[in-house]
A and B are shown apart, each in its own frame.
Chain A
Amino acid sequence: MRSSIGSIALAAVAILAVSAAQAFDASRYPDWSGQWRRPAGVGNQWDTSKPARRGQQAPLTPEYQAIYEANLKDQAAGGQGTDPTYTCIPDGMPRAMNVIFPMEIVIQPHVTHIMIEYLSMLRRIYTDGRSWPENLEPSFMGYSIGQWRDEDGDGRYDALAIETRNLKGPRSFDASGIPLHEDNQTVVKERIYLDKANPDILHDEVTTIDHALTRPWTVIKNYHRVRNPVWVEAICAEGNQHVRIGAESYMLSADGYLMPAKKGQAPPDLRYFNQSRK
């Protein structure tokens, strides 16, 4: 009799294992549901523990420090410098993890999706054990492969380790224009995990390896959870007052006219218009 009970129990375990393979066993994964926001009062700089711009002390190579300085000068004059996002292109990685607008993380067996409420900034992080694809078209968000880790051995995953490659530009770390190398060989390594004391705080330890930097640059981002969120659309193109014509950036006035963004800026060349008609 005991052996038949044992057989049934064994069968139950086997069935459970099959069932777990079929269905997504959410109990193994951390609860990262809801909406994640950067903390109140935190600016949009890359390293949130330091002041913006030069205060970031970005470990730039001399060549890229010079590019950054020229960018700051251009921004001080009213230009956009090396921040390309005024034309509503995506922030790309790693800047997307500044989470200027809120983010949602949806965990699935083979993919974790990170949706950021801005443009179409969607990250797919493949956790199915795949290797890097060959000759994939680069993108602003890059290609991300992740691995779930049970760091404390309690049978539940605590952290998602991610590596992101295959990026394209132009990208910068933040709105101050801290540059990434134009070769776009950036590699981003992340470790995302819940705060041990407060499950409504999420951390992202982000290390950027890039030829514009003298060493890997690690910062830690923090996000606060809203458990019953309201989602709104942040549409960059809606109300964007920036206009790029050729290499120049201009502004639109409130009354709908083109205007200079910098003092003394020349108007656009209108050579393709038949001005004799006007």
Chain B
Amino acid sequence: MICPRSIAAVALATIFLTAAAWAHDETKYPDWSGQWLRAGGIQWDPTKPIGRGQQAPLTPEYQAIFEASLADQAAGGPGNDARYSCFPVGMPRLMSVIFPMEFIFSPRITYILFENNMPRRIYTDGRTWPNDPEPTFAGYSIGQWIDADGDGRYDALEVETRHMKGPRTLEGSGLPLHKDNQTMVKERIFLDKTNPDILHDEITTIDHALTRPWTVTKKFRRERNPTWFENDCSEDNHHVAIGKENYFLSADGYLMPAKRGQAPPDLKYFNRSKY
């Protein structure tokens, strides 16, 4: 005879299993809710000063490109940094998190939402790389949740990102990535072991502008009751790109030079005899 207690136990187990199948089992995932703000500056490696201080492992060719960018910026130009015309910063620079970010976990996709860039979708459904996807600034990301300590809960998200397009740089100083856009970015995102309000992103960039893979660790701090703002680059952007030149808009709405002695734009398409 089957014991009624066993029947009840089986019923209980069935109810549990059904519940687990129904729902996205949040208990397996770490709590990364809230708003994450950068804990460091806007430079790529937060442990070193921006610009030359980064000691970026650039090839000689790309070191020369970087030096030219620095010289142009010193003269008032944008150098290699395309952000002045509101292009997305792309990967991996997105993870400098100039403005705050948010994570959303779904069973198959982890989303990273930014205040001033489009979201990253990190596919965690076991898919393989697509054939010939259209490259994007943020790239195509495949991730895997890792239970490193075997306690039945995920501790870290490992991500690989490919299929990017340019122009992209690593920071506002114009630290260049190779124009072949063959960049590959590997990340490991995890909570700090002692402080659950600190998140780390260990980022390794593999790129033909670099002599070796370059690893930096970004740190973010949590705001549990956030207020979100819009940060729209194009709103009140005072840079004006005309051809290959960058100009400024003055406070009173006139075009003005960005560099000392800069020539005005060629107005050959205007009928100047009228004015």
Q: Which A residues have a C-beta under 8 Å from some C-beta of B?
A: 1, 4-5, 8-9, 11-12, 15-16, 19-20, 22-27, 87-90, 106, 108, 113, 115, 117-120, 122, 124, 133, 136-137, 139-141, 230-233, 235-238, 243, 245-247, 252-253, 255-260, 264-275, 277-278
Within 8 A of A (CB), among B73-92: 85-88
Question: A-B contact count, CB below 8 Å?
Answer: 190
Pick the residue among B9, B22, B242 that contacts A26 (CB under 8 A): B22
Proximity bits, B134-149, A CB within 8 Å = 1, else 0: 1011100000000000
Known: A235-B87, A237-B85. A273 touches B263 (CB 8 A): yes
| A119 lies within 8 A of B253 (CB) | no
Given A272-B254, A272-B257: A25 and B271 within 8 A (CB)?
no
CB distance from A233 to the nearest CB of B (A): 4
Bound form: Cα–Cα A119–B249 in Å = 22
Docked Cα-Cα span, A113 to B33, in Å, equals 14
A258 contacts across to B, CB distance below 8 A: 242, 265-267, 269-270
Residues of B within 8 A of A106 (CB): 104, 106, 111
Digitize B102-127: 1 where CB-to-A-CB distance is under 8 Å, 0 elsewhere.
00101000010111111101000000
Kindly specify which of B172-180, B188-196, B213-221, B223-231 makes contact with the partner chain: B223-231
Q: Is the CB of A122 within 8 A of B268?
A: no
Give the complex CA separation of A26 and B107 in angstroms.
Answer: 11
In the complex, A153 Cα to B270 Cα: how many Å?
66
What sequence of 0s and 1s flags, for each residue 26-52 of chain B, a beta carbon within 8 Å of any chain A beta carbon?
A: 110000000000000000000000000
Given A232-B136, A258-B267, decide whether A141 and B230 contact each other with a Cβ distance below 8 A.
yes
Instruction: Indicate if B7 sits at the interface (CB-CB under 8 A).
Output: yes
16 A–B contacts, CB within 8 A, in A order:
A1-B4, A5-B7, A8-B9, A23-B24, A106-B111, A117-B118, A120-B117, A120-B118, A233-B136, A258-B242, A258-B266, A260-B269, A264-B274, A269-B254, A270-B265, A273-B257
Given contacts A122-B113, A232-B136, A237-B85, whether A260 and B26 have CB atoms under 8 Å apart is no
In the A-B complex, list the 3 residue pairs whose CB atoms are closest, starting with the nearest.
A256-B243, A246-B253, A272-B256
B118 with A233: CB separation less than 8 A: yes
Give which listed residue, B4, B231, B263, contacts A5 with CB less than 8 A.
B4
Name which residue of chain B comes closest to A107, CB basis: B106
In the assembled complex, the CB of B2 is this many whole angstroms from the nearest CB of chain A, namely 12
Do residues A270 and B104 form an inter-chain contact, with CB atoms below 8 A? no
Bound: A136/B233 CA distance, A: 20
Which B residues between 233 and 275 are near A, CB-CB below 8 angstroms?
Answer: 233-235, 237, 240, 242-244, 249-250, 252-257, 261-272, 274-275
Q: What is the interface residue range for chain B against chain A?
A: 35 or more
Interface of B (DSSP majority class): loop
- A113–B113 CB distance below 8 A: yes
Complex Cα–Cα for A156 and B268 (A):
65
Q: What's the Cα separation between A245 and B23 when bound, in Å?
A: 53
| Residue pair A245, B254 in contact (C-beta under 8 Å) | yes
CB of A78, distance to nearest CB on chain B (Å): 13
A230–B240 Cα distance when bound, in Å, is 33
The answer to whether the Cβ of B72 comes within 8 Å of any Cβ in the partner chain is no
Given A25-B23, A257-B269, list of 10 further CB < 8 A pairs? Answer: A5-B7, A88-B234, A106-B104, A120-B116, A120-B117, A233-B118, A243-B240, A267-B267, A267-B275, A272-B254
B22-A27 in contact (CB<8A): yes
A237 touching B267, Cβ below 8 Å: no
- Whether A259 contacts B270 by the Cβ 8 Å rule is yes
Contact B264 A270, beta carbon cutoff 8 Å: yes
Complex Cα distance A122/B25, Å?
25
Chain A residues within 8 Å of B27, by CB: 22-23
Task: Return the contact of A140 from the options B12, B230, B267 (Cβ within 8 A).
Answer: B230
Are B254 and A122 touching (Cβ within 8 A)? Answer: no
Q: Is the CB of B242 within 8 A of A252?
A: yes
Please pick, from B24, B87, B119, B263, the residue contacting A122 in the complex, using a CB distance under 8 A: B119
What residues of A have a CB within 8 angstroms of the CB of B202 in the complex? none
Min Cβ gap B17→A in Å is 11
- Given that A16-B19, A25-B23, A231-B121 are known contacts, is A90 also in contact with B253, CB under 8 Å in the complex? no
How many Å lie between the Cα of A7 and that of B27 in the bound state?
Answer: 26
Pairwise interchain contact B7-A89, C-beta atoms closer than 8 A: no
A116 to nearest B CB, angstroms? 9
In contact, A245 and B133 (Cβ under 8 angstroms): no
B15 within 8 A of A: yes
Residue of A nearest to B265 (CB): A258
- Distance of A31 Cα from B4 Cα, bound (Å): 38
CB pair B234–A236 under 8 Å, yes or no, is yes
B64 proximal to A (CB < 8 A): no
- A275 pairs with B264, CB closer than 8 A: yes
- Chain B residues, Cβ within 8 Å of A243: 240, 242
User: Could you say which residues of chain B place their CB within 8 Å of the CB of A268?
Assistant: 254-255, 265, 267
